């Protein structure tokens, strides 16, 4: 039985999943209460990203092996992959209670704290793991991530350098070295580490994302936007929303209340408003626009994922339509200005579309974008033909009436739709539904 378990574990490491599943199924037919077999089955399904099956197997492993710490640790990994963070926390705490000196369990706890953006707790958990095993790679790397988020990049670099000397072929360590270099503004060193990480592990998403940022941050403007993103990532979720909403309230309410009719104050208010709007647009559009230019970069075009390419092309397309509709509004019919604004808004939302989870957040984003298209762009095409050619065609006139009614009813609240869509789009991009 032990030999079969070892063989199944080896097959999983070799990514020979079908053979591993057959081996484990045979074991479970003989002994359906074997906790270690259910544990390996959960690991198998987790690697396959079959979260529902992984949950079932992990729960069976815990049921049949309640005093075995590794079954609770596996349950925690499955909950974490399913975005069920409270359950992941409870499971790993039980594993640590059963085996308090296990560095791997403490590394898992640090990973959960990182997902929750509880940087200090993540640092404490990683330090606790290193107290038992100073060479545990996961603890070292999670500690480095926490240190960077806490504004201690230099300290993180020292720890990663020491780890690199012991294991120069660790992809995660190279990737974190790259992120530290980005934080310090050293793009060339960051590129070197990300390329090395991807050489070791070509499927490492953390490294691929870092490589893209390193290439794009060679542009001064993008580098400043990246600095803003890195700064925001160090803040808690509530604080980030406070910064976003606070900026909006400043522009929408505080500045207008300062207006006193004098030219100097008018210039000040207009200047601050224009700068804020330009900054807000840059945080949405800089990444996809920079991705467009990466098509011409010898490294970047291979680093872009399919979704990033789609996002870049879609954003460019909607912005192009926005410009076209703006020209039509100026030269032909003012109603096209609504279509122009809607196109720019759709470009903003498209920049977040693939950041949304594939579950209800992405479906909700698609529904919202479809609604904006219907109330912002469709009326122009329904109403404009009749206005331009003055036809008496009943069908075209009916469409024109429909377009006019849509514009009449929704045009009055269109500004609120634009503002609400921006905030709701950000919320959807950050939502992490449970699976």
Question: What is the reported pLDDT for 99?
Answer: 94
Q: How far, in Å, CA of 304 to CA of 241, rounded?
A: 29
- Residue carrying the six token digits 């090395």: 196
Sign of the C-alpha dihedral computed for residues 182, 188, 191 and 195 taken in this order: negative
Total domains in the fold of the chain: 2
For residues 51 and 174, membership in a common domain is answered with yes
Same domain, 192 and 288: no
Residue 206 domain-assigned? yes
Q: How many CB atoms lie within 10 A of CB 11?
A: 20
pLDDT for 79: 93
Residues 2-49 have pLDDT tens digits of 777 777 777 778 778 888 888 888 888 888 898 998 998 999 999 888
pLDDT computed for residue 287 by the predictor? 66
pLDDT above 70 for 190: yes
Instruction: Report residue 24 as tokens.
Output: 């484990």
What would the two tokens of residue 308 be? 């990033």
Please give the backbone phi and psi of residue 51, each rounded to the nearest 5 degrees, phi first. Answer: -70, -35
Check whether 420 has a pLDDT greater than 80: no
- Do 159 and 107 have their domain in common? yes
Within a domain: 435: no
- Asked whether residue 37 falls in the same domain as residue 69, the answer is yes
Q: Give the 3-state secondary structure of 21-56.
A: HHHHHHHHHHCCCCHHHHHHHHHHHHHCCCHHHHHH
Report the pLDDT value the prediction gives residue 183, as an integer from 0 to 100: 81
Domain of residue 119 covers 2-224
What confidence tens digit (pLDDT) does each residue in 242-295 have? 666 666 666 666 666 766 667 777 777 777 776 776 666 666 666 676 677 676
Q: Which of 166, 196, 224 is the last residue of a domain?
A: 224
Residue 408: its pLDDT value, please? Answer: 60
**49 backbone dihedrals φ, ψ, rounded to 5°:** 65, 25
Residues 86 and 151 in one domain: yes
The two structure tokens encoding residue 135: 């060479």
Q: Are residues 249 and 202 in the same domain?
A: no
Does the pLDDT value for residue 108 go beyond 90?
A: yes
pLDDT of residue 223: 67
Q: Residues with Cβ < 8 Å from 202, sequence gap 6 or more?
A: none
- SS3 for 278-328 is HHHHHHHHHHHHHHHHHCCCCCHHHHCCHHHHHHHHHHHHHHHHHHHHHHH
Residues 46 and 75 in one domain: yes
Provide the pLDDT confidence category of residue 397 given band limits of 50, 70 and 90.
Answer: low
CA max distance for the chain: 87
In a domain, 403, yes or no: yes
pLDDT more than 90, % of the chain: 19
Q: Would you say residue 231 lies in a domain?
A: no
Q: Which helix or strand (DSSP H or E) is residue 240 part of? A: helix 237-249
User: 193 and 298 in one domain?
Assistant: no
Cβ distance 296 to 312 under 8 Å? no
Q: What is the pLDDT of residue 251?
A: 64
Same structural domain, 161 and 95: yes
Q: In terms of domains, do 292 and 346 share one?
A: yes
Same structural domain, 208 and 253: no
Q: What is the mean pLDDT of residues 328-336?
A: 80
Are both 32 and 145 inside the same structural domain?
A: yes
pLDDT beyond 80 at 187? yes
Q: Which residue has the higher pLDDT, 307 or 1?
A: 307
What is the pLDDT, as a whole number, of residue 228?
65
| Cα dihedral across residues 407, 409, 411, 416: positive or negative | negative
Residue 141's CATH number: 1.25.40.10
Whether 417 maps to a domain, the answer reads: yes
Residue 176's pLDDT band (boundaries 50, 70, 90)?
Answer: confident
Residue 313 covered by a domain: yes
């Amino acid at each position: 039985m032990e030999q079969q378990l070892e063989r199944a574990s080896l097959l999983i490491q070799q990514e020979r999943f079908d053979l591993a599943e057959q081996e484990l199924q045979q074991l479970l037919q003989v002994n359906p209460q074997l906790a270690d077999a259910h544990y390996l089955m959960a690991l198998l399904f987790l690697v396959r990203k079959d979260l529902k099956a992984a949950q079932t197997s992990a729960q069976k492993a815990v049921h049949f092996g309640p005093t075995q710490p590794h079954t609770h640790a596996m349950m925690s990994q499955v909950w974490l992959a399913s975005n069920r963070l409270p359950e992941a926390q409870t499971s790993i705490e039980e594993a640590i209670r059963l085996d308090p000196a296990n560095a791997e369990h403490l590394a898992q706890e640090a990973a959960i704290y990182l997902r929750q953006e509880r940087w200090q707790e993540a640092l404490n958990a990683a330090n606790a793991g290193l107290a038992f095993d100073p060479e545990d790679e996961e603890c070292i790397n999670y500690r480095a991530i926490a240190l960077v988020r806490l504004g201690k990049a230099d300290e993180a670099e020292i720890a990663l350098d020491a780890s690199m000397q012991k294991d120069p072929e660790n992809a995660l360590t190279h990737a974190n070295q790259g992120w530290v270099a980005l934080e310090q503004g050293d793009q060339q060193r960051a590129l070197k580490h990300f390329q090395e990480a991807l050489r070791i592990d070509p499927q490492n998403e953390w490294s691929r994302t870092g490589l893209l940022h390193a290439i794009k941050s060679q542009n001064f403007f993008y580098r400043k936007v990246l600095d803003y993103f890195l700064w925001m990532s160090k803040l808690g979720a509530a604080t980030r929303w406070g910064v976003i909403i606070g900026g909006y309230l400043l522009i929408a309410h505080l500045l207008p209340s300062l207006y006193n009719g004098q030219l100097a104050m008018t210039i000040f208010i207009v200047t601050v408003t224009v700068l804020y709007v330009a900054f807000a647009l840059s945080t949405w559009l800089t990444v996809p626009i920079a991705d467009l230019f990466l098509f011409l970069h010898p490294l970047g075009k291979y680093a872009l994922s399919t979704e990033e390419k789609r996002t870049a092309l879609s954003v460019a397309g909607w912005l192009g339509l926005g410009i076209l509709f703006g020209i039509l509004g100026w030269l032909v019919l003012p109603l096209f200005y609504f279509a122009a604004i809607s196109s720019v808004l759709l470009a903003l939302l498209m920049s977040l579309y693939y950041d949304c989870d594939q579950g209800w957040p992405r479906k909700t984003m698609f529904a919202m974008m479809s609604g904006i298209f219907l109330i912002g762009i469709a009326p122009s095409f329904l109403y404009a033909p009749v206005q331009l050619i003055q036809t008496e065609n009943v069908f075209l006139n009916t469409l024109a009436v429909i377009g006019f009614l849509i514009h009449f009813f929704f045009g009055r609240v269109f500004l609120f739709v634009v503002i609400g869509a921006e905030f709701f789009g950000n919320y959807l991009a950050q939502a992490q539904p449970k699976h």
